[in-house]
Amino acid sequence: MKIELCHFRVGEIDGVSLEMEKWKVVLEMLGHEVIYIAGSTGSCLAYIIEELNYRHPVNHKFVYNAYERLVDYENENALLEEMIDFSTIIEEKLVTIIENEQVELLIPHNILSLGWGLPAGRAFTKAIKRTRVNVLAHHHDFYWERDFYMNPTCGFVHDWLGQFFPPQLPTIYHTVNNKLAEKKLKERYGIEATVIPKVFDFYQSKWEVNNYNRDMRQQLGMTENDLVFLQTTRIIERKAIELAIDTIAHFQNNYLTSLFERGIYRGKFTEQSNVYFVLAGLPESSAHYLEQLKDKASELGVKLIVAHSRVKYTRQYRNGLKIYSLWDAYSIADFVMYPSILEAWGNQLIEAIFAKKPMLIYEYPTYLSDIADKNFYFVSLGKEHTVTEDGLVTVAEEKIDAAAKQIAEIISSQQTYKLYTEGNFQKAKRLYSYDTLVNLLEKLVANIGKKR
């Protein structure tokens, strides 16, 4: 079967792009021909529809006027007309690709659920109706899960969200990442969906320090004797990166000196050693949030390195500058921070498990519904938080202290470090390997093929 995977972007290090690559690999393992459609491409070949670009300036204007303030248009109708025109461009390009490539199955990721690309949702719905192509829509995030999308400025935006996110068509089969989304989709629209969790290739080569990435610490301003905390998520508010800063600061102030005597799991730790917090993900929030993080880190004495310009999906050289892969970043880390308060499932969680790194988490809703009962070993900040007047997330001080103390215990003991990593790896390998995705997609695609 000829299959098209679609998203706003491919070949980058955001969660959806990473997950689409896994789907492509598995579908090709099953004997299908797979191509990409996207608004931008990082390291992958794809059909490009520029108007789908996640960062397209026109769509950014639509998003601001649709969800925040209607300021660039005389009235609602003016915005509607321009969005319809933009949508029609996407629709025509998509129909052309579907027909020219004789696509048999279209798999949009998040395009028909999030509400970020309003014209894209309308365009895909109309193109699906016109071509009668079968669709397996995978929904990572729904608009109703984000406060940002819940109070549109215009009535027609509310209508579009209900009509296109997702559309209710007989040719569309729906899949989601977690049980909460499955339940909510059924409640809101009466739509039955199949839950497909995040998976990973647990049989690939280990992410280790090698000849290419051996100098990564030095290139980022660190040494081999330093302690490195890593967060690879995008730099956006719901990732609650400030909780990681709070925890590292508390760790430094209360438990760091004990490591001078005990050492760390991989050797000595001296007064000349430093502690760093590396952010490897893309900054996609307002510039204000990143500045808040920098200010907080500076105030609390946490050495913060924003490394996204040196970390991409694949290794490469740009203008003579050595670029490392996301997986290289894991190889130099001692501990992974994942305090996100909202996730569809959690790419970094499964990546850190594969990398055999211990991890700090916040128990976000889908973690509690889909993952907690698997009994992985994590350091937890609990499941309750508040948001301050400046928009930053906080948890109870005793949770921060308990987490910092536990981190010190893990880092200072090779045996404890292994307990928190090796067991997680073996369990996740059994539950979330490509075999899981193969079984689910094989059945879904076979059923779709029978009904063609």
What gap in Å lies between CA 293 and CA 278, rounded to an integer?
Answer: 12
CATH class given for the domain over 216-431: alpha beta
Bridge partners for 173 per DSSP = 136
Which pair of structure tokens corresponds to residue 378? 């994590």
Give the tens place of pLDDT for each residue, 7-54.
999 988 788 998 999 999 999 999 999 999 999 987 788 999 999 999
pLDDT tens, position by position, 199-252: 999 999 999 999 999 999 999 999 999 999 999 999 999 999 999 999 999 999
Secondary structure of residue 68 in the 3-state scheme? coil
What does the pLDDT look like over 115-138, one tens digit per residue?
A: 999 999 999 999 999 999 999 999
Going 432 to 434 to 436 to 441, the CA torsion angle's sign is: positive
CA distances from 376 to 196, 343, 372 (A): 19, 17, 7
Confidence class for position 438, pLDDT limits 50, 70, 90: very high
pLDDT at 286 over 80: no
pLDDT at 452: 54
For the chain, domain boundaries: 2-199+433-450, 216-431
3-state secondary structure of 136: strand
Q: What is the pLDDT of residues 62-92, one digit of tens each?
A: 999 999 999 999 999 999 999 999 999 999 9
The share of the chain scoring above pLDDT 70, in percent, equals 99
pLDDT at 112 over 60: yes
Please tell me the predicted confidence (pLDDT) of residue 43. Answer: 74
> What pLDDT does residue 63 have?
98
pLDDT score, position 11:
86
Q: Are 344 and 178 in contact (CB under 8 A)?
A: yes
Residue 254 has pLDDT above 60, yes or no: yes
Interior/surface letters 41-57, b for 16+ CB within 10 angstroms, e for the rest: bbbbebbbbebbbbebe
pLDDT of 41 reads: 87
Specify the pLDDT at position 371: 97
3-state secondary structure of 249: helix
For residue 235, CA distances in Å to 199, 283, 314 come to 23, 4, 19
**10 token code pair:** 């491919």
Mean pLDDT of the chain: 95
Whether the per-residue pLDDT at 342 is higher than 70: the answer is yes
In this predicted structure, the answer to whether residue 336 has a pLDDT above a threshold of 70 is yes
Per the CB < 8 A criterion, the answer to whether 339 and 378 are in contact is no
Give the C-alpha separation, 12 to 314, whole Å.
9
Contact 357, 190 (CB under 8 A): no
Q: What is the CATH architecture of 2-199+433-450?
A: 3-Layer(aba) Sandwich (3.40)
Binned at pLDDT 50, 70 and 90, residue 451 comes out as low
Taking a C-beta distance cutoff of 8 angstroms, is the pair 181, 193 a contact?
Answer: yes
Same fold for the domain at 2-199+433-450 and the one at 216-431?
Answer: yes
User: What is residue 449's predicted lDDT score, i.e. its pLDDT?
Assistant: 67
How far is the C-alpha of 189 from the C-alpha of 333, rounded, in Å? Answer: 43
How far is 244 from 231, CA to CA, in rounded Å? 9
Look-up: residue for tokens 């579908």? 27
